[in-house]
Amino acid sequence: MLEQLKEIEEIKSSDGSRLALRTDEGGEVLETRDPRGRLIFEYHPATGRAVVHVPGALDVQAEGGIRFKGRTIALEADREVEVSSADSRLRVNPDSMTLESGSVALGAKEITVTGGRARADIREVHLRAEKMEQAVGRVILAARELIERVEGAIHTRAGRFKLQSRRDVTIQAKTANLVAKDDFRVQGETIHLG
């Protein structure tokens, strides 16, 4: 076909659409243009690269499945990319990304999240880990009720430790030791020992 086009240079249909073979710096280019001269399709034999140009919108519909397969696949849009299936939807905008679904499962050997700020509004959270390490500058925890269950030991090491309660403080233990290197003070309007 290419050899025939080299001799003919251009094939033109009755409506003005044409198929032509031209040469540029990258080599030969086989191109198809519509009656208005707009480029519709181009093929580069030297690299095997094919490009489809659509002046307006492009709809691809199939009763069966549609499959894209390649060494790399890239989707690019100036405004928005949307992928949807039933009630699940993924929207990617220039400055944001939204994922909506009834259930989302993520599995990976390692996950890294980097950002300036994170917010979560979740009704219920279940977290299970063999080991968890936290390194933060400041932690502020506000809860209506806090219950902790620890099978082993709780070890808190701090420069200062302050505990405030609006009402009662109860410490229950089989044995209790309070040790101070310097002063040990007990202060209250009434102190009961024993």
Local structure of residue 5 (DSSP, 8 states): H
Annotated domain spans of the chain: 2-100
pLDDT given for residue 3 in this prediction: 54
In sequence order, what E strands does the chain have? 10-12, 18-24, 27-33, 39-44, 49-52, 81-85, 88-92, 97-100
Put simply, whether the predicted model's pTM sits higher than 0.85 gets the answer no
CB atoms < 10 A from the CB of 33, how many?
A: 19
Residues of the chain with pLDDT under 50: 1, 4-5, 7
pLDDT given for residue 26 in this prediction: 75
Give Cβ neighbours of residue 13 (< 8 Å, ≥ 6 apart): none
Which residue reads 């302050």 in tokens?
Answer: 162
